[in-house]
A = this chain, B = another copy of it.
Amino acid sequence: EVGDEFEPLDGEGVRKYVGKYSELSSRVGGDHPNEWTVREVGDGNINFVYIVEGPRGGIIVKQSLPYVRCVGDSWPLTLERSYFEVEALKEHGRICPEHVPEVYHENPTMAVISERYCEHPHIILRKGLIAGVVYPLLSEHMGEYLSRTLFFTSLFALSSGDHKKAVAKYCKNSEMCRLTEQVVFTEPYMNATNNRWTSPQLDEDALRLRKDRRLKLAVAELKSKFCERAQALIHGDLHTGSIMVTQTSTQVIDPEFAFYGPMGFDLGAYFGNLMLSYFSQDGHPSSPSSVGCPGGGEGREGFKAWLLQLISETWSLFSEKFRALWRLHATNGHVYNVAMFPTAREGGDDELSIAQEAFMQELLEDTLGFASAKMIRRIVGIAHVADFEEIHDPDVRAVCERRALNFAKSLLIRRKGISSMEEVVQDLKKAS
């Protein structure tokens, strides 16, 4: 019987599999599995993803194999990641259903998940940004997703006991954490065989990273925080390749790295990847495929201006929404509770605002730190981003990458002195 023990599926296997589960086949519709089209669309590095379509609609079937897809079985990886992906999809989905695909089916033994197919014209955000497409609702949507998922899984909303229970559960996703620790916080700063970069152009830059002790110290601090600070249930891999978008919809997929970690890591992954997109723009054809950018500006320059606006708007929206949740729900929360920080006291003091300022400042520092680490690792580490990889002239690419790298290095060191995302945006403007 399919599903009793692990078995890798090919296209025909997926067809049969879907046929066996009525909660799946009924969504695809039709009289017989042979009518369905099955396509493998996994452009990710790690797993296999199929779209199964029939008369009634399409569904996603994702299967994890016991190794890293793009490397093969020389790099084994636990099947349990599929369980954590589905648990995180469900938990984040409860909290923010508008921006997380619904789960239809889960099978931990087979490491199979089925979820809502983000139908045409959804595309991966990274691809949209490379093509220069503007998404007018993106900042609102991601502000909503980030504030809600991080707030409601943290001690702002949970009791101490429920928080510790959740922490313990996701501790078992440690193999995925270890992978992040290795490829984000360790290898880029060492002479590791996995590393690659645009060579010879960036040879000196890569070498200098390994000798920069202030930088390594900052990275070691961030690595400890990543390993030790169980602040919220984070997605764990929130780059622009984990987000599917249209002009009106934003869907966050692929939380297989989910665990209780620092909020700044999700925020940093997202903002860092927006910054990579920004630095890559000068390497792409001058006229973006999109309609004109709001707020004026033509072609790539206009698009870059929009990206900067996106970065600062997303932070503002995130931070406003997070603070609003805090004001509204703080009586349930275990930390920074309103009982200790009343909102309206005689004399007009607002202690809660002071607490919020201080918290947001520290979160911004974490965010900028993790954003920098994520940028650096995408330039000199094992896994690169299409934003740069699709710049075919290596000299042009290297110029863009070097700007991003230098910006990230400086941001990592300076992060504790920065007090607003606006300041970062001004620096980005100067840097490219």
Per-residue 0/1 for A323-340: is the Cβ within 8 Å of any B Cβ (1 yes, 0 no)?
A: 000000000001111011
Point out the residue from B174, B189, B213, B351 that lies within 8 Å of A164, measured CB to CB: B174
Q: In the complex, which residues of chain B have a beta carbon less than 8 angstroms from the beta carbon of A231?
A: 224, 228
Determine whether the beta carbon of B181 is less than 8 Å from that of A340: no
Q: List residues of A (159-186) whose CB comes within 8 Å of B's CBs.
A: 159-161, 163-165, 167-169, 171-172, 174-175, 177-178, 181, 186
Instruction: Give A426 Cβ to nearest chain B Cβ, in Å.
Output: 28
Determine whether the beta carbon of B335 is less than 8 Å from that of A220: yes
Q: CA of A428 to CA of B354 in the docked complex: distance in angstroms? A: 30
Q: In the complex, which residues of chain B have a beta carbon less than 8 angstroms from the beta carbon of A189?
A: 340
Determine whether the beta carbon of B165 is less than 8 Å from that of A174: yes
> Does A16 sit at the interface, judged by CB under 8 A?
no
Determine whether the beta carbon of A349 is less than 8 Å from that of B165: no
> Does A341 sit at the interface, judged by CB under 8 A?
yes
Chain B residue nearest to A172 in the complex (CB): B168
Q: In the complex, which residues of chain B have a beta carbon less than 8 angstroms from the beta carbon of A175?
A: 161
Chain B residue nearest to A210 in the complex (CB): B340
Q: In the complex, which of the residues A167, A172, A181, A336 has the most CB atoms of chain B within 10 Å of its own CB atom?
A: A167
Chain B residue nearest to A232 in the complex (CB): B228
> Does A96 sit at the interface, judged by CB under 8 A?
no
Would A160 and B172 be within 8 Å (CB), given that A220-B336, A230-B230, A354-B217 are in contact? no
Instruction: Give A125 Cβ to nearest chain B Cβ, in Å.
Output: 30
Chain B residue nearest to A159 in the complex (CB): B178
Q: In the complex, which residues of chain B have a beta carbon less than 8 angstroms from the beta carbon of A354?
A: 213, 217
Q: CA of A169 to CA of B155 in the docked complex: distance in angstroms? A: 20
Q: In the complex, which of the residues A169, A228, A355 has the most CB atoms of chain B within 10 Å of its own CB atom?
A: A228
Determine whether the beta carbon of A161 is less than 8 Å from that of B190: no
Q: CA of A181 to CA of B228 in the docked complex: distance in angstroms? A: 19
Q: In the complex, which of the residues A181, A230, A335, A351 has the most CB atoms of chain B within 10 Å of its own CB atom?
A: A335
Determine whether the beta carbon of B174 is less than 8 Å from that of A161: yes
Q: In the complex, which residues of chain B have a beta carbon less than 8 angstroms from the beta carbon of A284?
A: none
Q: In the complex, which residues of chain B have a beta carbon less than 8 angstroms from the beta carbon of A378?
A: none
Instruction: Give A84 Cβ to nearest chain B Cβ, in Å.
Output: 12
> Does A127 sit at the interface, judged by CB under 8 A?
no
Would A341 and B160 be within 8 Å (CB), given that A171-B165, A231-B228, A335-B227 are in contact? no
Chain B residue nearest to A351 in the complex (CB): B213
> Does A384 sit at the interface, judged by CB under 8 A?
no
Q: In the complex, which residues of chain B have a beta carbon less than 8 angstroms from the beta carbon of A339?
A: 190
Chain B residue nearest to A181 in the complex (CB): B160
Q: In the complex, which residues of chain B have a beta carbon less than 8 angstroms from the beta carbon of A358?
A: 217, 221
Q: CA of A227 to CA of B155 in the docked complex: distance in angstroms? A: 8
> Does A116 sit at the interface, judged by CB under 8 A?
no
Instruction: Give A123 Cβ to nearest chain B Cβ, in Å.
Output: 35
Determine whether the beta carbon of A341 is less than 8 Å from that of B230: no
Q: CA of A336 to CA of B228 in the docked complex: distance in angstroms? A: 14
> Does A216 sit at the interface, judged by CB under 8 A?
yes
Point out the residue from B169, B190, B217, B229 that lies within 8 Å of A229, measured CB to CB: B229
Q: In the complex, which residues of chain B have a beta carbon less than 8 angstroms from the beta carbon of A27?
A: none
Q: List residues of A (380-414) whose CB comes within 8 Å of B's CBs.
A: none
Q: In the complex, which residues of chain B have a beta carbon less than 8 angstroms from the beta carbon of A90?
A: none
> Does A148 sit at the interface, judged by CB under 8 A?
no
Determine whether the beta carbon of B160 is less than 8 Å from that of A227: yes
Instruction: Give A254 Cβ to nearest chain B Cβ, in Å.
Output: 21
Q: In the complex, which residues of chain B have a beta carbon less than 8 angstroms from the beta carbon of A171?
A: 164-165, 167-168, 171
Q: In the complex, which residues of chain B have a beta carbon less than 8 angstroms from the beta carbon of A229?
A: 228-230
Known: A164-B172, A165-B171. 13 other contacts (CB 8 A): A155-B227, A159-B178, A161-B175, A161-B178, A165-B174, A167-B167, A167-B168, A167-B230, A216-B340, A220-B341, A220-B355, A224-B336, A228-B229
- What are the nearest 8 A-B pairs in CB distance? A168-B171, A164-B174, A168-B168, A164-B171, A160-B178, A161-B174, A213-B351, A224-B335
